[in-house]
């Protein structure tokens, strides 16, 4: 096997630095155990999402939509077009289109091909090892040290006694009692629906 | 340098792979408590609400027989069953409360046996010593009190026996409701998972 020589004048392949590693760890942690969103930010997101969908398009929106149209027609580039193509390819891949040939062979000088491959292999393996180690460490930490998730926040409101709603001194008339039971359970059914929609 | 970096990565990977004992399964009381609130339960509660408000309107006009009608139809009508068998706690409690109201209406019309049948059926729906059971015992005591008054002139001895029974029932009701109040003081500040505020 080819040995990696020290003190080579070629630039080092890009290694993940500490900041990048921390960012990756934070992303993995957030994906694995997301925290509750800040209420103010949540409110802003809701307001942004609930803007009038039938309002006339703004000049900026018109410009952006034209750029997106051109990108979808293959005449320009646009982030949303790339996203749309990726989603389209994931949903309905077009197998008749051949993939582009890799261009590595044209770029790499023939004399260094073996070394470059080894170095690239080493750096890829290193990055994968770091990611796997972080993921496994994180998993172990969450299983061992972190408190168990609050199941009551994940669970749906259950059918249960309503006796806790009433005190002998303030139970009211029978129709008032059924009013309270029905409105409490109605609110919980609504909460359950929101939870099932993933918005609780 | 690169070899050292690789060794560090390998060590990290191996440490991440270290075997750990599987954690004990944590019971989830919130999930085990019962079925999630669903629209079928709400349909029953809506029907019950309508029946009680219709009964209010008829009772307010002095029509006690008419007022019992919607409540009797509620009792005889369809009830939702969790997993096809058990009644939900809310259904038991609404039926118990409705039967207590029916007992009151029937006893006010002099139908004491029927009122006591309502109570008996209601108590089968409220076996726990909670507000609803206490209310049924209280209503049974009031039914017997009316019954005793109705017999005072025709059968004083029977009236006296029934009055004593009424007092016993009312004391039982007081005991149950005292326990309800005491429990609420103990439970204050420890909300049940998923419990709703009134």
| Residue closest to A160 by CA, chosen among B174, B27, B128 | B128
pLDDT in tens, B88-147: 999 999 999 999 999 999 999 999 999 999 999 999 999 999 999 999 999 999 999 999
The verdict on A15 touching B (C-beta cutoff 8 Å) is yes
Mutate which: B71, B195, B197, vs A, most A CBs within 10 A: B195
Residue B95 near residue B125, CB atoms below 8 Å? yes
The verdict on B172 touching A (C-beta cutoff 8 Å) is no
Q: How far apart are alpha carbons B46 and B41 in whole angstroms?
A: 9
Instruction: Report the range of poorest mean pLDDT among A33-42, B51-60, B69-78.
Output: A33-42
The verdict on B158 touching A (C-beta cutoff 8 Å) is no
Q: What ipTM was reported for this prediction?
A: 0.70
Q: How far apart are alpha carbons A110 and A116 in whole angstroms?
A: 10
State if pTM tops 0.95. Answer: no
The verdict on A187 touching B (C-beta cutoff 8 Å) is yes
Q: What are the respective helix, strand and coil percentages of chain B, to the nearest 5?
A: 70, 5, 25
pLDDT value for A50: 64
Residue A46 has a CB neighbour count (10 Å cut-off) of 10
pLDDT value for B93: 96
Q: How far apart are alpha carbons A125 and A133 in whole angstroms?
A: 12
CB pairs under 8 A between A and B: 176
pLDDT in tens, A3-37: 444 444 455 555 667 888 888 888 888 777 777 77
Tokens read off for B149: 């008054």
Tokens read off for B6: 């690789």
CA atoms within 13 A on the CB side of A167: 10
Q: How far apart are alpha carbons A16 and A190 in whole angstroms?
A: 47
Question: Which residues in chain B (92-131) have CB-CB distances under 8 A to chain A?
Answer: 93-94, 97-98, 100-101, 128, 130-131
pLDDT value for B46: 96
pLDDT in tens, B155-176: 999 999 999 999 999 999 999 9
Do the Cβ atoms of A143 and B16 come within 8 Å?
no
- In this predicted structure, the answer to whether residue A147 has a pLDDT above a threshold of 60 is no
B61-99 burial: b if 16+ Cβ within 10 Å, else e = eeebeebbebbbebbeeebbebeeeebbbbbbbbbbbbb
């Amino acid at each position: 096997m080819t040995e990696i020589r020290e003190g080579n004048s070629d630039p080092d392949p890009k290694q993940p630095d500490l900041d990048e590693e921390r960012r990756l760890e934070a992303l993995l942690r957030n994906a694995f155990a997301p925290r509750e969103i800040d209420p103010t930010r949540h409110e802003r997101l809701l307001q942004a999402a609930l803007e009038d969908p039938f309002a006339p398009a703004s000049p900026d929106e018109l410009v952006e939509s034209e750029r997106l149209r051109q990108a979808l027609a293959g005449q320009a580039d646009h982030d949303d077009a790339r996203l749309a193509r990726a989603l389209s390819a994931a949903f309905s891949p077009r197998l008749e289109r051949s993939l582009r040939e890799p261009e590595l062979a044209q770029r790499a000088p023939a004399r260094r091909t073996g070394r470059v491959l080894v170095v690239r292999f080493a750096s890829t393996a290193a990055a994968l090892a770091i990611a796997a180690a972080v993921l496994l460490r994180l998993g172990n930490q969450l299983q061992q040290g972190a408190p168990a998730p609050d199941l009551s926040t994940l669970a749906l409101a259950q059918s249960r006694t309503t006796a806790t709603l009433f005190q002998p001194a303030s139970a009211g008339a029978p129709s008032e009692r059924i009013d309270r039971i029905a409105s409490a359970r109605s609110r919980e059914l609504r909460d359950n629906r929101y939870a099932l929609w993933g918005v609780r | 340098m690169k070899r050292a970096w690789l060794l560090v990565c390998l060590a990290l990977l191996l440490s991440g792979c270290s075997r750990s004992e599987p954690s004990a399964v944590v019971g989830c009381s919130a999930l085990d408590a019962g079925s999630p609130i669903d629209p079928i339960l709400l349909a029953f509660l809506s029907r019950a609400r309508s029946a009680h408000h219709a009964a209010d309107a008829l009772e307010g006009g002095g029509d006690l027989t008419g007022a019992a009608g919607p409540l009797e139809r509620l009792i005889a009508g369809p009830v939702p069953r969790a997993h096809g068998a058990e009644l939900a706690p809310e259904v038991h409690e609404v039926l118990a409360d409705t039967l207590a109201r029916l007992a009151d209406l029937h006893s006010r019309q002099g139908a004491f046996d029927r009122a006591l049948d309502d109570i008996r059926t209601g108590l089968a729906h409220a076996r726990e010593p909670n507000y609803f059971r206490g209310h049924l015992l209280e209503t049974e005591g009031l039914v017997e009190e009316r019954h005793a008054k109705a017999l005072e002139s025709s059968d004083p001895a029977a009236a006296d026996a029934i009055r004593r029974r009424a007092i016993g029932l009312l004391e039982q009701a007081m005991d149950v409701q005292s326990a309800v109040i005491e429990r609420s003081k103990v439970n204050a500040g420890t909300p049940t998972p998923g419990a709703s505020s009134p």
